Amino acid sequence: MYPGLVIVSNRLPVSVKKTDGKLEFYPSIGGLATGLSTYTSNKRNRWIGWPGIANEDINEDERRTITKELKKHNCYPVFLSQKELDGFYNGFANSVLWPLLHDLTPNKEAAADESFWRAYKRVNQAFGEVVLSLSTSGTTIWVHDYQLMLLPSMLRVQRPHDKIGFFLHIPFPSSKIFANAPHGAELLGGLAGADLLGFHTTSYVQNFLSCCQHFDIGTVGPKELILPDRVIRVTDFPMGIDYAKFVRATKQAAVRRELLKLRTKYRGKKVIVSVDRMDVTKGIVPRLDAYRAFLEQNPQFHRKVVLVMIAIPSRTDTDAYKKLRKQIDDLVHDIEDKFGTARWKPIEYITTPLSFTQLSPYFQLADIALVTPIRDGMNLVAKEYIASQGNQDGILVLSKTAGAAEELKQAIIVDPTKRSSLVSGIKEAMLLPQDELRERVSAMQDHISEFTVQEWASNFMGTLKKPVKTPHMTRSLSPSHQRMLVDSFRRAQKRLLLLDYDGVLAPFRSNPYKAGPSPKVLKVLRKLAKLP
């Protein structure tokens, strides 16, 4: 049995697919897989997750082959049926939780479909069974993201003495939004099985604690959730990138060759780059609309600018994706028809996944990166672009609702929901003086070179391993003692009540200035004060 660190996420850093009946293994795409694989590459940790292929698409021999091959990478699969994937992943996780946690309205049918919720619970249980089978008591377990919000409490029941951490890679909404979450109390209770809960920003931490207070999960303290038997740390850990990897890329021969080709192709033009998955939260449609408005309002930039929009299809079997794809395609064609000429293509639309060697030259080439999600937990593309600026001659236009905006304050910050803000942000970036640009980029590079993905993981694990204070166990008065206390209080001619404030008269708040007694408490105090 393995007593060390076990990482658990929906997807493994290595995925499997079948092409012409043959199994193929390839690196998974995404910030989580990329970031954590960097951290674990030189450490012998175990990573548990779904391998990317449904049970129906493989036979028993192939299943054994997958398990054997993944083990070479310290990866261990959780095999799922297509029905489980439809209910757990496409259903509850991505049609309910994903939009809800991004402050958007979930699919009503999905939110009301209890079979999706049952699938979500069942798959979380399946992950838990694999974790327990591959580890022993005393293991440190690090669970990741919204697909596995119930897993910490499931593990806690079986392993009360294990160190369990959970990190959410997407935003956490306000209590006003989360109050409408189907099974909200159960989801929060699932997270309450952890010893440490990590979020990208302090605002997400505050939102989570506010929700715990709303659902009466426990007593809320500054960056902690106090349960009767233990204290859960709730802290912000802004995720970084492998900064050195992007710096090294600026010197790699293969990357430099691609960069030279791109410079020749776009000679004489300002290049704007944007890189996203096709998802409504990424703000691609408002961004294209703003680019069109920018060209309409600024004819002096015609034939002098090009937007390289890299938008990778994601969750392609959903109606939401099909609707979004049509909107994007229509806008791209409209921009091309309205402004394009025989000698100028105002937009380059790329929908095929690019390797690191293919993507890095675009980051190095671009004069402007347009990173304008409607809502994003962090957005590592913003940091990757800045890390790629070897000559410090490209500027970042960043959404104020991306988690990265709390760190990269020298970027040009815009409101992704307002066309005028996006248009003015693009124009400001186009006209930014070179000395100011380099000053801004230098400051951002200093920050992200210090707070890397390695530092992020190290900080999280270091905090998880620290001893946690245990709250004093409360003792309830027996019925006889309660009667005696009430009788003595009634007979007394003089009474003195000594009451604590935080946690007694008023609930704990992350901001103590916002703590105050409820109307119900004030009413009781007034009644007590009027007693003879």
Catalytic residue among 145, 242, 367, 376: 376
Q: What is the dihedral of CA 153, 155, 157, 161, to 10 degrees?
A: -110
pLDDT given for residue 506 in this prediction: 73
Residue from 197, 171, 133, 271 nearest 468 by CA: 197
What does the pLDDT profile of the chain (532 residues) look like in tens digits? 556 789 999 999 899 999 999 999 988 766 566 667 655 665 678 999 999 999 999 999 999 999 999 999 889 999 999 999 999 999 999 999 999 999 999 989 999 999 999 999 999 999 999 999 999 998 999 999 999 999 999 999 999 999 999 999 999 999 999 999 999 999 999 999 999 999 999 999 999 999 999 999 999 999 999 999 899 999 999 999 999 999 999 999 999 999 999 999 999 999 999 999 999 999 999 999 999 999 999 999 999 999 999 999 988 878 889 999 999 999 999 999 999 999 999 999 999 989 999 999 999 999 999 999 999 999 999 999 999 999 999 999 999 999 999 999 999 999 999 999 999 999 999 999 999 999 999 999 999 999 999 899 999 999 999 987 666 544 555 566 667 787 788 788 788 888 877 667 776 554 455 567 777 778 878 887 878 7
What residues are paired with 399 via a beta bridge? 414
362 Cβ contact partners less than 8 Å away, ≥ 6 residues apart: 262, 273, 275, 308, 310, 354
pLDDT given for residue 477 in this prediction: 56
pLDDT given for residue 507 in this prediction: 63
Whether this prediction's pTM lies above 0.75 is answered by: yes
Q: What span, in angstroms and rounded, lies between the C-alpha atoms of 368 and 272?
A: 5
pLDDT given for residue 473 in this prediction: 47
3 state SS for 270-306: EEEEEEEECCHHHCHHHHHHHHHHHHHHCHHHCCCEE
pLDDT given for residue 288 in this prediction: 99
- Respond yes or no: is residue 435 known to be catalytic: no
Is residue 124 a contact partner of residue 12, using CB atoms and an 8 Å limit? no
- Respond yes or no: is residue 447 known to be catalytic: no
Indicate the CATH number of 5-236 among 3.40.50.2000, 1.10.10.60, 1.10.490.10, 3.40.50.300.
3.40.50.2000
Could you count the other beta carbons within 10 Å of the beta carbon of residue 185? 14
What residues does CATH 3.40.50.2000 cover in the chain? 5-236, 243-450
Catalytic residue among 169, 183, 242, 367: 169
81 Cβ contact partners less than 8 Å away, ≥ 6 residues apart: 54, 55, 56
173 Cβ contact partners less than 8 Å away, ≥ 6 residues apart: 100, 101, 102, 103, 207
Is residue 6 a contact partner of residue 166, using CB atoms and an 8 Å limit? no
243-450 architecture in CATH? 3-Layer(aba) Sandwich (3.40)
369 Cβ contact partners less than 8 Å away, ≥ 6 residues apart: 272, 273, 274, 363, 381, 382, 385, 394, 395, 396, 397
Q: What span, in angstroms and rounded, lies between the C-alpha atoms of 144 and 239?
A: 13
3-state helix vs strand vs coil in the chain, percent to 5: 50, 15, 35
How far from the centroid of its chain's Cα atoms is residue 64's Cα?
32
Is residue 149 a contact partner of residue 187, using CB atoms and an 8 Å limit? yes
